[in-house]
Amino acid sequence: APWKPILLLLSPPAFSTTCARCAKDRRLRQKRAISERQLTRYFVDHRKVRVVGGRGGQGGCSFYSEPRKIFGGPDGGNGGDGGHVILKADQQMKSLSSVLPFYQGFHGERGGKKNCYGANGACMYVKVPVGTLVKEDGEVVADLSQHGEEYVAAYGGAGGRGNRFFLSNENRAPVLCTPGEPGQERVLHLELKTTAHAGLVGFPNAGKSSLLRAISRAKPAVAAYPFTTLNPHVGIVHYQDYEQIAVADIPGLIKGAHLNRGLGVSFLKHIERCRFLLYVVDLSVPQPWVQLQHLKHELQQYEEGLAERPCVVVGNKIDLAESRINLPLLREQVSERVIALSALTGDNLEELLWHLRELYDAYVKTEQSRGQSPVKW
């Protein structure tokens, strides 16, 4: 019908680069904001990984041939070696969530003619957080506690031999070539122990997450029910001389935590890497010094000497009336320094920050006197 092409000409085009409405938006898309509760789901501190090294390349089998040189002899090159699977500690990694359950190294290439060796397989690097323990059959085989440390998880197989390798006086024309060896295969268990300078240790609802929010930019979940924090959070305290102190919010402990009650062992393992401890007690409860005794008992039962590290007692919730009554009683019962503050209102946070810096400076001097480099953030 004659009216169809007329309608097609009058209808607007499906896409136009000149029309503002149809033009493609070339602005960079921003990442979708993830809430703190969603972030805690992605924190993984244990991962089972199967690693297999790359297979070696097969050796080449060929004979050299050119005009007027009929019997050139064998010239098959060796195959390339398989690539290794290497675990590398990286400060940018904070969780084992990005570690896959299986890694296969790159294979070596086959040997070529004219004595050309096959290329070796490239090494596969797997980035893991600093403080990752590598275990095999329950035994620790590597401790990646420094940035840039590497551990060869699986070695690649050796490349095969070409027929040039088998040349001898008895066999002037060998046709034998060997295949490449398979790579090493292992099953490893990766366990993350949070590396921080200070660790906030306390019972549930003692105000550890609120305190970390007050002294750093970390935003752990805060609620009025116990075990709000199920994974450790690390906050960075900045000072005017550009020093940075990492403070870890350890999930709340209960009585019998060293017996793995309430996931106690999975929480206690993150305290092992802390250089000094901040015992956070709730001053509003009756006899707050009993909490401190129970916390030290759990740490001592879990690891000998863990409760003897440099520490300070932080009496939280000083803004309540009951806390002002219990504060002098707590100072009489304990021998450590007690810093009373309120994470909610921010009262007396300066004293905690100054004492935190003193503990950090003492730790740096101790490490330097031993000839070791202190952990920096």
Q: What CATH number is attached to the domain comprising 299?
A: 3.40.50.300
Contact 203, 291 (CB under 8 A): yes
Q: Do 254 and 275 have their domain in common?
A: yes
Please check the confidence at residue 246 and state whether its pLDDT lies above 90: no
Beta-sheet pairing, 338-340 with 276-282:
unpaired
Contact 178, 59 (CB under 8 A): yes
Q: Which of 193, 211, 243 is the last residue in one of the domains?
A: 193
Give the count of domains, the chain. Answer: 2
pLDDT for the residue 231 = 67
pLDDT tens digits along 164-206: 888 888 888 888 899 999 999 999 999 887 778 888 888 888 8
pLDDT tens digits along 283-308: 888 888 888 888 888 888 888 888 88
Domain with 308 in it: 198-370
Contact 127, 154 (CB under 8 A): no
Q: Which of 164, 193, 222 is the last residue in one of the domains?
A: 193
User: What is the reported pTM?
Assistant: 0.67
For every residue of 25-88, DSSP letters joined together read --SPPPPPP--HHHHHHT---EEEEEEEPPPPPPPP--B--BTTB----B-PPPPPPPPPEEEE
Q: Do 88 and 108 have their domain in common?
A: yes
- What is the mean pLDDT of the segment spanning 64-70? 78
For every residue of 262-282, DSSP letters joined together read TSHHHHHGGGTT-SEEEEEEE
Please check the confidence at residue 124 and state whether its pLDDT lies above 90: yes
**DSSP letter, residue 257:** G
Q: Do 206 and 353 have their domain in common?
A: yes
Residue 16 — φ and ψ, nearest 5°? -135, 135
Q: Is residue 6 part of a domain?
A: no
Instruction: Report the CATH number at residue 87.
Output: 2.70.210.12
Maximum distance among all Cα pairs of the chain, rounded to whole angstroms = 107
Q: Is residue 159 part of a domain?
A: yes
Q: Which of 193, 221, 238 is the last residue in one of the domains?
A: 193
Q: Do 111 and 166 have their domain in common?
A: yes
Q: Do 351 and 218 have their domain in common?
A: yes
Q: Is residue 377 part of a domain?
A: no
Residue 348 — φ and ψ, nearest 5°? 65, 30
Question: What's the mean pLDDT when you consider all of the chain?
Answer: 81
- What is the mean pLDDT of the segment spanning 100-121? 91
Contact 139, 120 (CB under 8 A): no
Residues 6+ away with beta carbon under 8 Å from 356: 198, 215, 237, 245, 247, 278, 312
